[in-house]
Amino acid sequence: MIDAEAAVTESTGEPKGLLRVTAPADIGDQLLANVVNQMRRDYPKVSIDMVLMNHYVDLVAEGVDVAIRTGALKDSSLIAKTAGVAQWVPFASPDYLKAASTPDLPQDLRHHGCLQFTPLGKESWTLKGKDSSVTVPMAGQVLINDIRVIRSMALAGAGVALLPMYLCRDDCTEGRLVRVLPEWHAKADPVHIVYPRQRFMAPKLRAFINLATQELGKWLE
């Protein structure tokens, strides 16, 4: 009875203590920095341990409070809240497009150097338009397993890259990258906030989920 009362008190009190967070590296770098800064400002008694990695983490076994995950989720006992959708679209630098010409149709990508994110597949890109989809074989592509490196190479004019919108929004606004084939997009990944099922949610976790939902919603579709 005493333990139950203590748990209720802890779940309704002031946010405090250590919060362990994990996320893919590109999302942590681009989207979660503002969440962490706001948590520190609004809840100074909360300490945050954020681990950025691109492989699956067992939250319960590793003692992690909350994770940001993209794509289809594995069946589990975890609770998931969808924060938005990450659209993947082709980008290139203005210098590259000036030298190589701007593609007018998805099929034109066959004549361009394409920077390929390995987890998306090695042979082709499938782009979807308003009423149809087109699968384009890749030629002369560079295969890379880190999306941040692909963005850096696109910025350097190395080719056309298929990248998530949230990663390139500022680059587009400031003219460093241009969206190629703006009427077409590739996959759309849901972005989830995931945490273990629990009887009483700690205030520190509730505060983080609320802030993360708000901040991610600004960047995602």
- 65-76 burial, b at 16+ Cβ within 10 Å, e below that, comes to bbbbbbeeeeee
Q: Which residues, listed in sequence order, are joined to residue 194 by a DSSP beta bridge?
A: 67, 80
Residues whose CB is less than 8 angstroms from the CB of residue 102 and which lie 6 or more positions away in sequence, other chains included: 178, 180
Q: How many CB atoms lie within 10 A of CB 139?
A: 11
173-192: pLDDT as tens digits: 999 999 999 999 998 999 99
d(CA 221, CA 217) in angstroms, rounded, equals 7
49-77: pLDDT as tens digits: 999 988 888 999 999 999 999 888 876 78
Give the burial class of 206: count Cβ atoms within 10 A of its Cβ; 0-12 exposed, 13-18 middle, 19 or more buried: middle
Looking at the fold, whether 145 and 205 belong to one and the same domain comes out as no
Contact 125, 186 (CB under 8 A): yes
Q: How many domains does the chain fold into?
A: 2
Whose structure tokens read 């589990």?
Answer: 76
pTM of the complete model = 0.83
Looking at the fold, whether 212 and 174 belong to one and the same domain comes out as no
Looking at the fold, whether 65 and 110 belong to one and the same domain comes out as no
Helices 2-12 and 203-219, axial angle in degrees (round to 10):
30
User: 177: which 2 tokens?
Assistant: 């990258």
Looking at the fold, whether 154 and 211 belong to one and the same domain comes out as no
pLDDT greater than 50 at residue 126: yes
CATH code, domain carrying 13: 3.40.190.10
Looking at the fold, whether 73 and 99 belong to one and the same domain comes out as no
Looking at the fold, whether 40 and 134 belong to one and the same domain comes out as no
Q: Residue 36: which domain range?
A: 2-77+189-219
Mean pLDDT of 123-128: 90
User: 178: which 2 tokens?
Assistant: 């241009």
Looking at the fold, whether 179 and 134 belong to one and the same domain comes out as yes
